[in-house]
Amino acid sequence: MAGIELRQLRKSYGAFEAIPAIDLTIEDGEFCIFVGPSGCGKSTLLRTIAGLEDASAGEILIGGEEVSRRHPGERGAAMVFQNYALYPHMTVRQNMGYALKIAKKPKEEIKTTVERAARTLGLEDLLERKPSELSGGQRQRVAIGRAIVRDPKVFLFDEPLSNLDAELRTRMRLELADLHRSLGVTMVYVTHDQVEAMTLADRIVVLRSGRIEQVGSPLDLYENPENLFVARFIGSPSMNILKAETIADGIRLTGLDGPPLPRPDFVPAAWRGPLGIRPEHLRLHPGGMEVRLRAVEHLGDVTYGYATLSDGTELCIDLQNHRKMAAGDSVALAIPTERAFFFDQKTERRLR
Strand partners, 212: 207
Specify the residue, 41 or 137, whose C-beta has the smaller distance to ligand ADP: 41
| 160 is a contact residue toward ligand ADP (CB under 6 A) | no
Which of Mg ion, ligand ADP, none does residue 216 bind to, with CB < 5 to 8 Å depending on kind?
Answer: none
Q: Which does 44 bind (CB under 5 to 8 A by kind): Mg ion, ligand ADP, none?
A: ligand ADP
If the CB atoms of residues 36 and 216 are measured against ligand ADP, the closer one turns out to be: 36
Residues lying near Mg ion in the complex (CB under 5 A): 43
Judge contact between 78 and 150, C-beta under 8 A.
yes
Nearer to Mg ion, 43 or 113 (CB): 43
Beta carbon of residue 238, minimum distance to ligand ADP (angstroms, whole number): 18
Sorted by sequence, the CB contacts under 8 Å of residue 290 that are 6+ apart come out as: 257, 258, 330, 331, 332, 333
- The whole-angstrom separation of Cα 173 and Cα 138 is 13
- Residue 39 interacts with ligand ADP (CB under 6 A)? yes
Select from 6, 9, 18, 142 the one that contacts ligand ADP (CB under 6 A).
Answer: 18
Instruction: Candidates 33-41, 231-239, 243-251, 259-267: pick the segment binding ligand ADP (CB under 6 A).
Output: 33-41
Of positions 8, 13, 177, 259, contacts ligand ADP by CB under 6 A? 13
Q: Does 240 contact ligand ADP by CB under 6 A? A: no
Distance CA(8)–CA(24), nearest Å, equals 9
SS3 category, 180: helix
Longest dimension (CA), the chain: 80
292: left (phi over 0), alpha (psi -120 to 50) or beta: beta
Angle between helix 92-102 and helix 136-148 axes, rounded to 10 deg: 20
- Residue 42 engages ligand ADP in binding (rule: CB under 6 A): yes
Instruction: State which residue, 38 or 321, has the beta carbon closest to ligand ADP.
Output: 38
Stretch that binds ligand ADP, among 10-18, 77-85, 198-206, 327-335 (CB under 6 A): 10-18
Which conformational region is residue 311 in: left (phi greater than 0), alpha (psi within -120 to 50 degrees), or beta?
alpha
